[in-house]
Structure 1
Amino acid sequence: MATDSEGSSIFGGVDLAAESGKTAAATILEDASGVSIVDVRIGVDDDSIVDLVAGAVTTGMDVPVGWPADFVKLVSAHAREEQDVPVSTDRAWRRGLALRATDRFVHEHIGGYPLSVAADLIAYPAFRWAGIEARLRGAGVDVARDGTGKICEVYPAGALRVWGLPSRGYKSDRNTAVRETIVDGLSAKMPWLDWGGFAQRCVQNDDALDAVIAALVARQVHHGEAVAPPAELAGLARQEGWIWLPVQEAEIK
């Protein structure tokens, strides 16, 4: 159960790759005794993701959960051979197609752009998520893309940047030293977090670390400690998705 009679809550985090072998999932338990990581797995299939989302209060998904609205319009119109002639096909026009409202928000407030789901290989995990989303929706699970349901889109590198921790150069097997710095930094900033014996797994595997960060952000979303879509972007967030950045010790610029 997401929340039991004694008030304990489960939060999930998924670092979604196109294939199960590179997909990691983390589970955090919050109860009267504190906050602890109770599971971190690598090699997670669709069934396990469905079970985690259905059973958790909120699950942070490290994957774009939607496509830019203007990109969707262009592809649809192009397929019907009804695309209007643009004033220009310059960089600004192309960027408007490649980036979601949330991607631009992230850039404006913490710098950098998340990978474009319309123009980058991150689309492959997003394709997988679209299938999982449909399965969850068919089972009656609220998977609203704006984060108001059982899932919220997260951006681990952006969360690390907000927390003042290394947000680049921590991927791949050779960068264990950077991941150790991140784990130590998270422990210092979140002394209430019990790693449950999984800290070393996060040092050794970047997918595991991203899954834990995703679960931590999901917990902050639930507790109102993350940045919601502003009113003027609420409609787009429902279609395109919204990256939830945490607010902890560092102000959003």
Structure 2
Amino acid sequence: MLTLGVDLAAADTRTAMATVEWLPGRAVVRDLVLDVSDARIVGASEHVDKVGLDCPLGWPEPFVALVQAHRLGQIAVADGDGAQWRRGLAYRLTDEVVRQETGIIPLSVSADRIAHAAFRCAGLLAMLAAAGHDVDRTGGGRVVEVYPAAALYRWGLAHRGYKGRGQQVQHAQLVTALGEAAPWLDLGAFEGLCRRSHDAFDSVIAAVNARAAAIGMAAQPSDEQRPTACVEGWIALPTGPLRELIDGANE
């Protein structure tokens, strides 16, 4: 099995992509690149079993309805808690599930700067669909939405404090901790890049999370949640420990 992890930024710069091959008893990072274009992501997707995309795949349905109503001058604000009303505009169903399950609050795709990456992601999903890939925003097709911070939390690893300027020590410690928690994951010649770039590191985590989704070890929406998830997207939270991603593998 091959999985692809993409840490998607608003532009090619700061976008990282990792390819991981899953073999009996081990997994090997076969490729890890920075400054990746949409065309390169689509091309790489042709050769893998699952793509873990670190970016929201959609917007909250109430937010989309608000924009449409605002355009027509037909907004009706419900009486009561205005903050709660605004929260429903800012966060998707899957974001609320992640918050409930992990205590981590994802960035709002309608109210935070991650929306710039989501604009790009919308075009990327259209390109993947045009290339013949099954783009199911719940993760049932080639692409699955992942959230490295939540995955790291689920795997018992540090999920905060390793990004940004001045965080090299924490970042390096996290790469070391990953190696201790998953000794079967071979970063090979790309270990140095993982230690230097948190974008590169997140793309590897995205590829590992894609493996969890591919083998049924990531949360899926319930029947009740699925209609909303089909539109808004669904974050595939890992449901088991790292070691179970490799144990019993038959590939």
Given the two structures, how large is their TM-score scaled by the length of structure 1? 0.91
Which of 38, 46, 53 is the aligned partner of 2:38?
46
Give the whole-Å Cα distance in 1 for the aligned partners of 2:220 and 2:182: 22
1:26-50, Cα deviation, whole Å (9 max, x unpaired) = 0001234731001110100111111
> What is the deviation of 1:173?
4.1
> What is the deviation of 1:87?
2.1
Runs of 4+ more than 4 Å apart: none
Counterpart in the other structure of 1:72? 64
Give the whole-Å Cα distance in 2 for the aligned partners of 1:202 and 1:31: 21
Which of 19, 26, 31 is the aligned partner of 1:34?
26
Secondary structure of the structure 2 residue equivalent to 1:214:
helix
Conservation of the 8 A alpha-carbon contact between 1:173 and 1:205 = no
Give the whole-Å Cα distance in 1 for the aligned partners of 2:107 and 2:25: 38
Secondary structure of the structure 2 residue equivalent to 1:12:
strand
Which of 107, 111, 124 is the aligned partner of 1:132?
124
Aligned residues: 242
Counterpart in the other structure of 1:159? 151
Verify: 1:121 aligned to 2:113, yes or no. Answer: yes
Give the whole-Å Cα distance in 1 for the aligned partners of 2:11 and 2:163: 18
Conservation of the 8 A alpha-carbon contact between 1:54 and 1:150 = no
Amino acid at match of 2:160: R
Verify: 1:98 aligned to 2:98, yes or no. Answer: no
Give the whole-Å Cα distance in 2 for the aligned partners of 1:193 and 1:214: 14
Kindly, what percent of the aligned residue pairs are identical? 43
Give the whole-Å Cα distance in 2 for the aligned partners of 1:204 and 1:155: 20
Conservation of the 8 A alpha-carbon contact between 2:25 and 2:184 = no
Give the whole-Å Cα distance in 2 for the aligned partners of 1:128 and 1:219: 24
Which of 61, 74, 78 is the aligned partner of 2:53?
61
Give the whole-Å Cα distance in 2 for the aligned partners of 1:182 and 1:223: 25
Verify: 1:186 aligned to 2:178, yes or no. Answer: yes
CA RMSD of aligned residues (A): 1.5
Counterpart in the other structure of 2:139? 147
Which of 100, 105, 108 is the aligned partner of 1:108?
100
